[in-house]
Amino acid sequence: MISIRQDVMERITDIKQIMSLIGDIESNELSSPSVDHLSLNPIMKSSATLALYNLIESTTTKCLKLIHDRIIAERVRFTHLNPNLQKLFITCYENQRRKEGANKSNADITITIYSLMSGTSNVCLEYKEIADHAKLYSGNLEAEVIEKVLKKYGLNFQEKEPALVKIKEARNTLAHGNKGFQEFGRDLPRKTAEDNLIKVEAYINSLLDAISDYIDNKLYLSPTD
């Protein structure tokens, strides 16, 4: 978790530097005859917004991977997991079995499911397998989606932040080419971009605290364990 927090701090610092540079340009404290500042400023605001979305998604992914790594490292039996995780893991294996069809891999998956449910084997399901077969999210992360994803892990995280919806929509607009960086940034006030940074930083800190509590208190285990 320490490395995740350090990565978040570094990325937040990077975005703050971009916002500071935008402010300097708009206040005419930074100028250069070789740079078209009217074009550069909106591009930088768009880049900062995209960086915020990427930070949200990468942090969420790293947190989920950390949960899987901890479960695997502790050699947890499937029958000892909380009910939400049991359902998620079985869903993942079932989706994988349907995808494989009637072949040897399908039979292996069936044996794996039986071994897990009978309590004779440890959980070895990495996050990548969940991402491939359970499809938790893909370019659509905002507070409500994150809440639903974490609920699948048995974590009740209800932090609300409407700004994440706008950031997600901005990401999709830019990623799909509906608007160019300059066009999108022209319509984005600097104050809004700065506020988004503050709100995302606060949201991610709350998320990291919740994940730390989940792991430290072993909430991935069944309440009866």
pLDDT digits (tens, 9 = 90+) for 45-87: 999 999 999 999 999 999 999 999 999 999 998 889 999 998 8
User: Of the ranges 18-32, 54-68, 85-99, 207-221, which one carries the lowest mean pLDDT score?
Assistant: 18-32
8 A C-beta contact, residue 55 and residue 11 = yes
Q: Are the C-beta atoms of residues 218 and 79 closer than 8 Å to each other?
A: no
CA distances from 130 to 1, 11, 84, 153 (A): 20, 26, 14, 12
The pLDDT value given to residue 93: 76
Distance of CA 60 to the CA centre of its chain: 3
Least confident of 112-116, 122-126, 163-167, 189-193: 112-116
